[in-house]
């Protein structure tokens, strides 16, 4: 990108679900609105350590009480003051059932937020919540309570106000979101004056828009087009390590054969992950054996099922099924993840080799998420998670009953998750998540897991 350029157009795979903060657990929404809102705390991009943003410092008084000191003199984009009431309002918004926040299950252990002074809040939890700072860093964005109360949540969801570097200008659903630099931003005037997210769902269309100069940047380059982009005169391709997980969920909330542990294990044996990586993803990915990427803080190595179609057939018969009688559904988005619908078709083809018939259903991204959240998915679905730094962010959100994107529930595993979540001792916490990772693998609750450890993006 030309360093003198003062505007930026980013090709994005999907529209935001909403522009109000603390509502939608969705990378697409979060990436866009974090230009409008600021967090209290974030992670350092190099070290992963927590660093202050709107907060100045923080700490726990005891296992159920935390205090956060806030920075002074910061203004919202409408001129209102950022203060402790803003923090309380933003957390209370998550906790209030009527707001239907998808973050609520992640904050269920918060009992109360108290304003101590204009620049200090106390957060009281129901039980030990050692990952509270993690939740604040990953989830919480700060809204102006006066503005939301004045205009109502419906308007605030369409015309947001935050303390962030960019102000809302115009949002055309399924077309674009246009933002303008907030010149009085507390961390300094942004170098890019105009920022636009342009929604282009299909990979090929994003690539064409990029090569023609209509957009300046996009991510998730189709893997079969990487060399084409690299050969362009004004284009560069960057690949960076990521802990993001792209996976096939084997859905135990659906009343079907995948409720049977042996059927889930059989699917793991019947899918040739190495072949998918090589033939569809052109090597741009890493095979996983468990729910976490090697980049996750509490990652441990788990046993690999391997490709063994004979063992898959044996397990299916032990479960009392004829493989040819199994007719499963597989839901996938198209263009949301690298080669997502192609991977889905590849999995269907591999399962057909042992007699299982798979109906691949391709969904628009918003409809795909809505089906998962409302437990309307069938037997299997393609989804991604992260990038998450720690084990809890992935494990709690994919393997507990109330989590919005979960596909699997086991009473014993869930109990272990919640017990481990309360541990302040790092070594005991690590051991707890190690056992959970191995237990999840044994249950066969994930099918093929492909870590997008090479996040590919193009820039003009």
Same domain, yes or no, for 167 and 273? no
Same domain, yes or no, for 344 and 365? yes
Whether 325 is in a domain gets the answer yes
pLDDT digits (tens, 9 = 90+) for 167-193: 999 999 999 999 999 999 999 999 999
- Which tokens belong to 391? 């084990």
Looking at the DSSP assignment, which residues form a beta bridge with residue 441? none
The residue among 26, 297, 245 whose CA lies nearest residue 139 is 26
Residues 6+ apart with CB under 8 A from 28: 12, 13, 14, 15, 16, 17, 336, 365
CA 123 to chain centre: 25
Decide: 87 and 39 in contact? Cβ < 8 Å. Answer: no
Same domain, yes or no, for 298 and 198? no
Measured between alpha carbons, how far is 126 from 339 in angstroms, rounded to an integer? 43
Same domain, yes or no, for 437 and 309? yes
pLDDT at 361: 97
Whether 380 is in a domain gets the answer yes
Same domain, yes or no, for 310 and 349? yes
Same domain, yes or no, for 392 and 263? yes
For residue 90, give the 3-state DSSP assignment: helix
Question: Among the three residues 238, 271, 290, which one is the final residue of a domain in this structure?
Answer: 238
Whether 32 is in a domain gets the answer no
Buried b (16+ CB within 10 A) or exposed e, 35-67: bbbbbbbbbeeeeeebebbbbeebebeeebebe
Question: Among the three residues 145, 176, 198, which one is the final residue of a domain in this structure?
Answer: 145
Same domain, yes or no, for 102 and 118? yes
Question: Among the three residues 187, 211, 238, which one is the final residue of a domain in this structure?
Answer: 238
Residue 343 has pLDDT above 80, yes or no: yes
Same domain, yes or no, for 266 and 369? yes
Query: What CATH number is given to the structural domain containing 218?
Result: 3.40.190.10
Whether 30 is in a domain gets the answer no
Distance of CA 67 to CAs 86, 100, 118, 123, 124, Å?
A: 15, 27, 13, 6, 9
pLDDT at 375: 93
Same domain, yes or no, for 426 and 408? yes
Same domain, yes or no, for 205 and 308? no
Same domain, yes or no, for 337 and 390? yes
DSSP state letters, 237-305: EEEE----EEEEEE-SSSSSGGGSHHHHHHHHHH--HHHHHHHTSTT-SEEESSSS-TTSTT-------
- Domain tally, the chain: 3
Query: What CATH number is given to the structural domain containing 317?
Result: 3.10.105.10
Same domain, yes or no, for 418 and 436? yes
Give the chain's largest Cα–Cα span: 69
- Which tokens belong to 37? 């809102």
Whether 69 is in a domain gets the answer yes
Query: What CATH number is given to the structural domain containing 132?
Result: 3.90.76.10
Whether 26 is in a domain gets the answer no
pLDDT at 360: 98
Q: What does the radius of gyration of the chain's CA atoms come to, in whole angstroms? A: 23
Residues 6+ apart with CB under 8 A from 164: 34, 35, 36, 37, 38, 77, 182, 185
The residue among 218, 223, 195, 196 whose CA lies nearest residue 208 is 218
Place of tokens 């990952």: 131
Residue 198 belongs to what domain range? 7-12+162-238
pLDDT digits (tens, 9 = 90+) for 377-419: 999 999 998 878 889 989 999 999 999 999 988 999 999 999 9
Whether 131 is in a domain gets the answer yes
Confidence of residue 230 (pLDDT cuts 50, 70, 90): confident
pLDDT at 3: 62
Whether 29 is in a domain gets the answer no
pTM of the complete model: 0.84
Measured between alpha carbons, how far is 460 from 452 in angstroms, rounded to an integer? 23
Measured between alpha carbons, how far is 141 from 91 in angstroms, rounded to an integer? 9
């Amino acid at each position: 990108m030309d360093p003198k350029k003062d505007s930026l157009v980013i090709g994005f795979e999907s529209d935001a679900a909403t522009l109000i903060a603390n509502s939608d657990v969705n990378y697409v929404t979060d990436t866009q609105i974090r230009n409008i809102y600021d967090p209290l705390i974030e992670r350092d991009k190099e070290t992963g350590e927590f660093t202050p943003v709107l907060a100045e410092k923080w700490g726990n008084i005891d296992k159920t009480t935390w205090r956060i000191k806030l920075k002074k003199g910061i203004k919202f984009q409408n001129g209102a003051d950022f203060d402790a009431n803003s923090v309380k309002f933003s957390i209370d918004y998550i906790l209030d059932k009527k707001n239907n926040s998808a973050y609520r299950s992640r904050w269920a252990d918060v009992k109360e937020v108290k304003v101590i002074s204009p620049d200090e809040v106390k957060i009281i939890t129901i039980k030990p919540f050692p990952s509270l700072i993690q939740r604040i860093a990953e989830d919480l964005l700060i809204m102006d309570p006066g503005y939301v109360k004045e205009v109502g949540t419906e308007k605030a969801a369409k015309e947001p106000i935050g303390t962030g570097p960019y102000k809302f200008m115009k949002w055309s659903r399924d077309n674009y979101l246009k933002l303008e630099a907030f010149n009085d931003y507390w961390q300094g005037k942004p170098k890019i004056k105009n920022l636009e997210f342009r929604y282009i769902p299909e990979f090929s269309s994003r690539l064409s828009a990029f090569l023609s100069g209509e957009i300046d940047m996009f991510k998730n380059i189709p893997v079969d087009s990487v060399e084409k982009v690299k050969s362009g005169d004004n284009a560069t391709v960057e690949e960076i390590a990521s802990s993001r997980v792209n996976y096939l969920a084997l859905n135990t909330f659906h009343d079907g054969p995948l409720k049977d542990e042996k059927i889930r294990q059989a699917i793991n044996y019947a899918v040739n992950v190495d072949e998918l990586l090589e033939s569809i993803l052109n090597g741009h990915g890493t095979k996983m054996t468990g729910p976490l990427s090697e980049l996750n803080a509490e990652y441990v190595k788990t046993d690999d099922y391997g490709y063994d179609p004979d063992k898959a057939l044996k397990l299916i018969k032990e479960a009392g099924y004829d493989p040819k009688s199994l007719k499963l559904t597989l839901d996938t988005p198209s263009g949301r993840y690298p080669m997502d619908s192609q991977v889905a078709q590849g999995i269907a083809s591999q399962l057909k080799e042992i007699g299982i018939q798979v109906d691949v259903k391709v969904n628009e991204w918003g409809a795909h998420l809505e089906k998962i959240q409302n437990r309307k998915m069938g037997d299997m679905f393609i989804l991604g998670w992260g990038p998450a730094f720690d084990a809890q962010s992935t494990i709690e959100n994919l393997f507990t009953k109330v989590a919005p994107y979960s596909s699997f529930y086991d009473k014993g595993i869930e109990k272990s998750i919640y017990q481990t979540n309360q541990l302040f001792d790092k070594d005991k916490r690590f051991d707890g998540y190690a056992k959970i990772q191995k237990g999840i693998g044994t249950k066969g609750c994930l099918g093929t897991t492909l870590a997008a450890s090479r996040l590919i993006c193009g820039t003009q």
